[in-house]
Amino acid sequence: FLDLKLAERVVLRNKTKLCSSKPIVTVNGKFPGPTLYAREDDTVLVKVTNHVKYNLSIHWHGIRQLRTGWADGPAYITQCPIPTGQSYVYNFTITGQRGTLLWHAHILWLRATVHGALVILPKRGVPYPFPAPHKEVNVLLGEWWKSDTETVINQALKSGIAPNVSDAHTINGHPGVVPNCSSQGEWWKSDTETVINQALKSGIAPNVSDAHTINGHPGVVPNCSSQGGFTLPVESGKTYLLRIINAALNEELFFKIAGHNLTIVEVDATYVKPFKTDTIVIAPGQTTNALVTANQNSGKYMVAASPFMDSPIAVDNLTATATLHYTGTLASTPTTLTSPPPQNATQVANSFINSLKALNSNKFPAKVPLKIDHNLLFTVGLGINPCPSCKAGNGSRVVGSVNNVSFVMPTTALLQAHVFNKSGVFTTDFPGNPPTAFNYSGGPPANASLATTNGTKLYRLAYNSTVQLVLQDTGTIAPENHPIHLHGFNFFCVGRGVGNYNPKTDPKKFNLVDPVERNTANIPSGGWTAIRFVADNPGVWFMHCHLEVHTTWGLKMAFLVDNGKGPNQSLLPPPKDLPKC
Ligand code: C2O
């Protein structure tokens, strides 16, 4: 049972803003929210009761929801939100999945605080395909916002200009080292002129945060707090499984531990070929399981989460810290430090992402679709549209789009409109290719015209049809990374490159043998990622940038997958307690 309540939480001490308290929406009184444990093949029932003034819905990020789209959770896509005072039971079966995922609110920006780990253990008696760890630890990376995030989103919607500034990044709820802690928090609150100027000067939403956190704790914050943040106790010689989750709204993050390598064994609840690395990169919505062996005798070692942003303009160099603490080490022992990669360390990110390969074992084969029914190319990016009424933006505003369509949220849920044949809610004319001239010649980052149209457009797929989708970053403002999340499916990341996708030469380099399988892809700044999946899940499935501000601006669309004709190929009927709009 998840109980959503408004609670007061004191984040830090002292006087600066980051150290102030504010009411946040918590689940069962917790931030981060409670961990949901289940096993593969379990049927899960979660009763969510809304005790707050906002409408709410919860998404089980990465759960396939085979035939149970009603339980997927994105507000106005698969369900109407749960109104204040009401409950809804999410009822779904975990089919063929085990690993680490996350759950989070899927309406407005409430997921800033309404999120938690979702741990799916293998079936009883089934071992991991890697040595059993001594212990498992959840590591939730997040942000801390001093202000009410709903105020922030309203500002973003009204002005179309970038107030996407959190006040902290967190590791298990605690921000780390935060330079200029006291002044950062004023940034988006200051007069709109400052916000507009910064947004216009930089050309793109500067994802500047005031701190990051690890498991809700900021750690040491200069001029603010000397608290060390989240502590992970370890015993020398033992191996631990870290279930690392990026639950931040707007920031991809690097994660590393001083003096220790990480062995990556799983991402997005799919097993990968184990490999060693000292740094991981993880986008919002992504999860990474890493083994870490406590191979030192004693000591304290810094755990760091810092931003990765391959954008020429935005600056965010805030690092969240936590501590790996060997049992028996005196508290006064100095911590062995590590310096995280710089914000624009694209090489570090690419080398991590390119090292990810599906485990592709006998038990866990990579079933990559080889014959393709829908060969799609979607541009994803941000542009500036005229907006005469946007005073704050001097007559223009930032828009996000996919194939130049800026998605308009409907006022009733798409899945209900589809199943009950309610007309006028959406159209199925989403373009399968960019509608404007597009330069395929390679070279500099793609720069498609982003003159956008608005619409609630879906792309329709027949049951069991196969899809190859190239997601190409474009931008009239500047190139930027986009973590693109597809609901209802896992997909194989068969190719990835910089510059413009070349449909003649690039497919020859695709990995169709052991490509990593995920639910959230990293689209490189000014580059592309090719994914493949089978449309074996009937329903309406949201696809969007998991940088929340980009979603807000319209960088989102949805697929409509028809029912199949055979047994067990149709969407199940809607639950009786499904909320109404
Ligand atoms: Cu984790 Cu549609 O989101």
Q: What is the DSSP string of 332-379?
A: TSPEEP--PPPTT-HHHHHHHHHH-BB---SSS------S-SEEEEEE
Residue with tokens 């030469």: 505
For the record, the structure tokens of 275 come out as: 């490999």
Q: Where are the alpha helices (DSSP H) in 187-332?
A: 192-202
Give the architecture (CATH level 2) of 374-561.
Answer: Sandwich (2.60)
Task: Round to whole Å and give the CA distance between 349 and 483.
Answer: 13
Q: CA neighbours within 13 Å on the CB side: how many for 64? A: 28
Ligand 1: centre distance to CA 546 (Å): 6
Q: Where are the alpha helices (DSSP H) in 160-249?
A: 181-184, 192-202
**Is 541 near ligand 1, meaning CB less than 6 Å away?**
no
- Helix H or strand E segment including 37: strand 36-39
Residue nearest to atom 3 of ligand 1 (CA): 61
**Is 104 near ligand 1, meaning CB less than 6 Å away?**
yes
**Which residues lie closer than 8 Å to 421 by C-beta, 6 or more apart?**
none
Beta strands in 164-319 (DSSP E): 168-173, 211-216, 231-234, 239-246, 252-257, 262-267, 270-277, 279-282, 287-293, 300-308
DSSP 8-state secondary structure symbol assigned to residue 425: S
Q: Are 320 and 176 a contacting pair, CB within 8 Å? A: yes
Q: Which atom of ligand 1 is nearest to the CA of 111?
A: 1
User: Measured in whole angstroms, how far is the alpha carbon of residue 117 from the centre of its chain?
Assistant: 13
SS (HEC) of 59-118: EEECCCCCCCHHHCCCECCCECCECCCCEEEEEEECCCCCEEEEEEECCCCHHHCCEEEE
SS3 197: helix
Task: Round to whole Å and give the CA distance between 82 and 577.
Answer: 10
Q: Which fold has domain 2-128?
A: Immunoglobulin-like (2.60.40)
At residue 228's C-alpha, the angle toward residues 223 and 232, to 5°, is 160
For the record, the structure tokens of 145 come out as: 């916002």
Task: Round to whole Å and give the CA distance between 93 and 537.
Answer: 13
The Cα-based distances of 124 to 60, 136, 265 in angstroms read: 22, 17, 20
Ligand 1: centre distance to CA 344 (Å): 25
From-to residues of CATH 2.60.40.420 in the chain: 2-128, 141-355, 374-561
**Is 174 near ligand 1, meaning CB less than 6 Å away?**
no
What is the chain's pLDDT, residue by residue, as a tens digit (581 residues)? 666 665 555 444 333 335 666 677 888 888 888 899 999 999 999 999 998 888 999 999 999 999 999 999 999 999 999 999 999 999 999 999 999 999 999 998 888 889 999 999 999 999 999 999 999 999 999 877 665 555 555 555 555 554 444 566 677 766 544 433 322 222 222 222 233 333 333 333 333 445 667 776 666 555 455 555 789 999 999 999 999 999 998 889 999 999 999 999 999 999 999 999 999 999 999 999 999 999 999 999 999 999 998 776 566 667 888 999 999 999 889 999 999 999 989 999 999 999 999 999 999 999 999 999 999 999 998 887 777 777 666 777 888 999 989 999 999 999 999 999 999 999 999 999 988 655 544 444 555 555 788 999 999 999 999 999 999 998 666 678 899 999 999 999 999 998 889 999 999 999 999 999 999 999 998 899 999 999 999 999 999 999 988 998 899 999 999 999 999 999 999 999 999 99
Q: Are 472 and 377 a contacting pair, CB within 8 Å? A: yes
**Is 111 near ligand 1, meaning CB less than 6 Å away?**
no
- The DSSP bridge pattern shows strands 300-308 and 252-257 to be antiparallel
- Sign of the CA dihedral running 396, 401, 406, 412: negative
Options 2.60.40.420, 3.30.1280.10, 1.10.645.10, 1.10.640.10; CATH of 141-355: 2.60.40.420
CB atoms within 10 A of CB 273: 15
**Is 175 near ligand 1, meaning CB less than 6 Å away?**
no
**Is 228 near ligand 1, meaning CB less than 6 Å away?**
no
Task: Round to whole Å and give the CA distance between 578 and 58.
Answer: 13
Q: Which atom of ligand 1 is nearest to the CA of 544?
A: 2
Task: Round to whole Å and give the CA distance between 504 and 213.
Answer: 44
Q: Which atom of ligand 1 is nearest to the CA of 284?
A: 1
Ligand 1: centre distance to CA 332 (Å): 42
171 bridge partner residues: 141, 214
